[in-house]
Structures are given as C-alpha cells and as structure tokens.
Amino acid sequence: MPNLPVPISEPARQPVHHRARASIGFGRRARMRASVSVTSGGIVSVAVLVSSILLSTAVIVHTAGKTARRTRAD
C-alpha cells in the first residue's frame, strides 16, 4: 500500500460576533443603555423563531375570527 499524504486539517474557525449598542434618554434623569453580541447562527435562530411566532399568530387570529363568525350566525 503506498504512503498517501495525510491531509492537514485547518484549525476550527471562531464564529463571527455581530455587536450592537444603543442608548436612549428621557429627560435628564432616565436613561437606558443596551448592548448585544450575537453570532450569525444566532441571527438565523432569532429569524426562525420570529417567523414561526408570526405564522402561528396568523393561524390563531384566523381561527378565532372563524369561530366568532360562526357564533354570530347562530
């Protein structure tokens, strides 16, 4: 069996972090500051969760409207 070269594996890449900061003030005393750091995978996860919540809310509203129409017709 011939000696085949062993492929050199690349070191694992660190995930890219997306960072954001925001601050808002109300008058002279009230101030709020927020910061977030999220990876690209985290952004995709949040997008999937938000879209599933919106889709399920649309189904609930549609079903509730159908029930309300049926109740009024009786």
* Confidence bin at 66 (pLDDT 50/70/90): confident
Q: CB neighbours of 28 closer than 8 A, spacing ≥ 6?
A: none
pLDDT tens for 2-51 read 677 777 777 778 888 999 999 999 988 899 999 999 999 999 999 999 99
Per residue, the 3-state secondary structure of 23-59, as one string, reads EEEECCCEEEEEEEEEEHHHHHHHHHHHHHHHHHHHH
Q: What are the Cα distances from residue 32, in Å, to 4, 37, 38?
A: 61, 17, 20
- Check: pTM over 0.85? Answer yes or no: no
d(CA 2, CA 23): 64
pLDDT tens for 20-33 read 999 999 988 899 99
